[in-house]
Amino acid sequence: MSALSFRLAEYISGLTLCMEPGRARAALLVLAPRLGMSVRTDSAPAEDGATLAAQARSAREASLTLAGAVETVEVGDGLGEYALTEDGMAIVSIAGTLVSRFGFLDAACGLTSYESLNATADALAQDPRVGGVMLDVNSGGGVANGMLDTADAFRALDGIKPVFGYANSVAGSAAYGLIASGSRVFLPRMALVGSIGAMTVHIDQSAADAARGLAYTALFAGDYKVDGWDHAPLADDARVRIMARITSVRDQFAQSVATHRGLSLEAVLDTKAGVLLDHDAVSSGLADDVLVFADAMDALRQEVRARATNRTTVPSAGGQAPANAVRPRDKEIIMGLPKTRAPGKGVRPIKTETAVEPPEDNPAEDEATPGGADGDETEGADGEGEDGDEGAAEKVTAARTEAAEIVAACVQAGAPQLAAGFISAGTPLTTVKAKLDTASSIRALVADAAKASPNIRADAAEALIGAGATLAEARKSILDAMLTGQAPAIRSAAPDPVKKVGAAIDVAAIYARANRLK
C-alpha cells in the first residue's frame, strides 16, 4: 500500500469527516482494491501520491507567480508556509485533504494539516511585512477534528489584519469552514462552495473476510468499544450512537459558519449540506462576490488601505502580534519570526505595480508651506508638528501591542473566537483577562454540574459566557437548572409533607378521647 493510500485509509475509516462526498468517494476508489473490495471504476491507475503532490505544488507556485508572489516564507522549519507579494499581501494555500496533525509524509502526499495552518496564522500575525492575508482554497474538506479551532484562529487574525478567502475552485465542507472565517469570501465563475455537513464511512468487510476464510472475534470491555468495527455488520444501536455524534459535529460546524458569515443557524442548515455554484453561493450568503483572483487581491489591498486610514484617524486595536507570542499548543515548536527561503521553482522575483499610488503634487499647498515643499520643519495649526505625529504613532503602536496581547490571552484561554469581539469593542486588556478568568471558572463549574445532573447541557458554559454572565449569575443559573431538572424525581421520592403529617394523625383516637372528656 502506498504512503498516500495508507494515510487516506487511516483518515477515512471510522473518523467523522467534513468532506465533500465526491472527494470521499474518490478516496475510497483509491483504497478499495487495497482493502480487498471490488469496485467498478473506469479511472486510470492512480499515480504515486508524492508525484501528484509535486505536480500540484509546481502548478500552485506558477499561479502564485502570476499573482505577484516574490518569495515564499517558511514557518517552523517546514511546518507551514505562505507566499508574500511585493506589497505585503500574504497568500496561504489550503489544498488537498485536510487532516489534524502535521507530518512530512502527509505533506509529501499533498495533504494539509490544521496544525500547520495554526502555526501559519501565528506567523502571519508576527510578520510586520504582512498587511493582509488571502486564503487560497482548493479542497473538498477532510477530518472534522481541528477545523473549528483553525477557523477561529484565522478569524482572530482578521482582528489584527484583514483575512479574505478565495474558493479556487472548490471549498467544500471543512475547507469551507476555514474560508468562511475570512471577513469576505470570493469565488470565480463555476466554482463550488458549501457541503456544510458531516459524515463517516463504515466498511463492512465481514463478507469479504468469509470469502477468504477469515473469522474475526473481538474481545472487549465496554459496551461501545467496538462500535463501527469493520469486521462485522453495523449494529442498530451503534448506528444510533454514531449518528448522534455526526449530527453534533454538523450542528457545531453550521454554527461556526453562521457566526463567521453573519447568517442565522437555520439559513445555514437549510442548505442541507449541498454545494452551491458561484452566484447561487452569493445569493445564499455563503460568498460575497464572483471575482477573478486578481480582483479579489485588489479588494484585499483596498481593505488594508481602508483599515490603515482608520488607524491613522483614530488609533484602534490592530497590528502585529509580538514575536514571542507562541500558541500554547505549539510550545514544542518554537517558531520565532518566520524564516524566508529562496523563491522555489516557479516562484521567481518579479516586479509588481504597487496598489498604493502616491498623492499628486499640489503647488498651492507647497507655496503655502513656509518651511519648503515638504514642510518637515513646520508646526501645524495646533503647534504639534513632528512631536504630534510621533505621539499619534506611539498610540497606534500601543493599540497594536494591546491587540496582540488580547489575541494571545484568548488563545491561551482556549477561546480565540472571542478576540475579534474584544478588539472591535475596544475592551481593555485587564478587562479581557478578567472576563477570560470568569469564562474559565464557568466552564469548570458547568463541567462539574454536568457530571451531577443530566439536565445540564454541555453547551451551557458557552451560552453563559456569550451572554456575559458573572460567576455568581452562572452559579445561580446552573443551580436553578439542576433543581428544575431534578424536581420530578424529588417529588416522586418524597411524599407531600402535608399528606405525610395527615396520614400520621389517628382521627378515631382523638374523637374517642374527646368523648371521654365530655
- What count of residues does the chain have? 518
Confidence of residue 20 (pLDDT cuts 50, 70, 90): low
What pairs with residue 192 in β-bridges?
170, 277
**What's the Cα-to-Cα distance from 427 to each of 316, 403, 472, rounded to whole Å?**
11, 10, 22
Of 210, 198, 211, give the one whose Cα is nearest residue 248. Answer: 198
Q: Is the peptide bond before 169 cis (omega within 30 degrees of 0)?
A: yes
In 317-468, the DSSP E strands lie at 339-341
Residue 166: the pLDDT is 97
* 472-496 mean pLDDT: 65
Distance separating alpha carbons of residues 186 and 299, to the nearest angstrom: 10
Element (H, E) at 365: helix 363-367
- Strands 89-95 and 80-85 turn out to be antiparallel
Residue 146: the pLDDT is 93
Residue type for 96, please?
Answer: G
What pairs with residue 94 in β-bridges?
137
Locus of grid cell 504515486 = 48
Distance separating alpha carbons of residues 65 and 434, to the nearest angstrom: 46
Taking only the tens place, the pLDDT of each residue in 236-259 is 999 999 999 999 999 999 999 999
Q: Which residue has the higher pLDDT, 23 or 299?
A: 299
pLDDT cut 90: percent of the chain above it? 38
* 375-397 mean pLDDT: 55
pLDDT of 504 strictly over 70 = no
> Is 353:89 a contact under the CB 8 Å cutoff?
no
pLDDT cut 70: percent of the chain above it? 61
Residue 168, SS3? strand
Residue 196: the pLDDT is 96
Which of 23-27, 213-217, 294-298, 355-359 is predicted with the least confidence, judged by mean pLDDT? 355-359
What are the residue boundaries of the structural domains of the chain, listed by start? 3-204+229-330, 428-518
> Is 96:111 a contact under the CB 8 Å cutoff?
yes
What would the CATH number be for the domain defined by 3-204+229-330? 3.90.226.10
Distance separating alpha carbons of residues 383 and 61, to the nearest angstrom: 52
Of 419, 444, 417, 447, give the one whose Cα is nearest residue 433. Answer: 419
Q: Which residue has the higher pLDDT, 226 or 385?
A: 226
| Residue-averaged pLDDT of the chain | 74
Residue 21, SS3? helix
Q: How far is CA 425 from the centre of its chain?
A: 21
Residue 169: the pLDDT is 87
Residue 252: the pLDDT is 95
Residue 100: the pLDDT is 87
Residue 368: the pLDDT is 43
Q: Which residue has the higher pLDDT, 87 or 311?
A: 87
Q: How far is CA 319 from the centre of its chain?
A: 21
pLDDT of 138 strictly over 50 = yes
Residue 261: the pLDDT is 95
Residue type for 43, please?
Answer: S
Distance separating alpha carbons of residues 491 and 499, to the nearest angstrom: 13
> The sheet that has 17-19: what strands, in order across it?
17-19, 141-143, 98-99, 112-113
Most confident of 135-149, 334-348, 376-390: 135-149
What pairs with residue 134 in β-bridges?
91, 164
Residue 21: the pLDDT is 61
Taking only the tens place, the pLDDT of each residue in 82-135 is 999 999 999 999 998 899 886 655 555 668 999 999 999 999 999 999 999 999
Residue 181: the pLDDT is 96
Q: Which residue has the higher pLDDT, 491 or 412?
A: 412
Angle at 81 between CA 75 and CA 86, to 5 degrees: 110
Q: Which residue has the higher pLDDT, 263 or 377?
A: 263
Distance separating alpha carbons of residues 48 and 2, to the nearest angstrom: 7
Residue 472: the pLDDT is 84
- Strands 289-290 and 184-187 turn out to be parallel
Confidence of residue 426 (pLDDT cuts 50, 70, 90): confident
**What's the Cα-to-Cα distance from 105 to each of 111, 134, 279, rounded to whole Å?**
9, 26, 38
Distance separating alpha carbons of residues 330 and 139, to the nearest angstrom: 25
pLDDT of 445 strictly over 90 = no
> Is 294:69 a contact under the CB 8 Å cutoff?
no
* 15-32 mean pLDDT: 57
pLDDT of 401 strictly over 50 = yes
* 47-69 mean pLDDT: 56
Residue 189: the pLDDT is 96
DSSP sequence for 135-161: EEEEE-EEESTTHHHHHHHHHHHHTTS
Distance separating alpha carbons of residues 113 and 125, to the nearest angstrom: 19
Angle at 407 between CA 89 and CA 249, to 5 degrees: 90
Residue type for 20, please?
Answer: E
Distance separating alpha carbons of residues 410 and 420, to the nearest angstrom: 10
What is the reported pTM? Answer: 0.57
**φ, ψ dihedrals at 345, nearest 5°:** -60, 130
Taking only the tens place, the pLDDT of each residue in 177-188 is 999 999 999 999
* 146-158 mean pLDDT: 95
pLDDT of 322 strictly over 90 = no
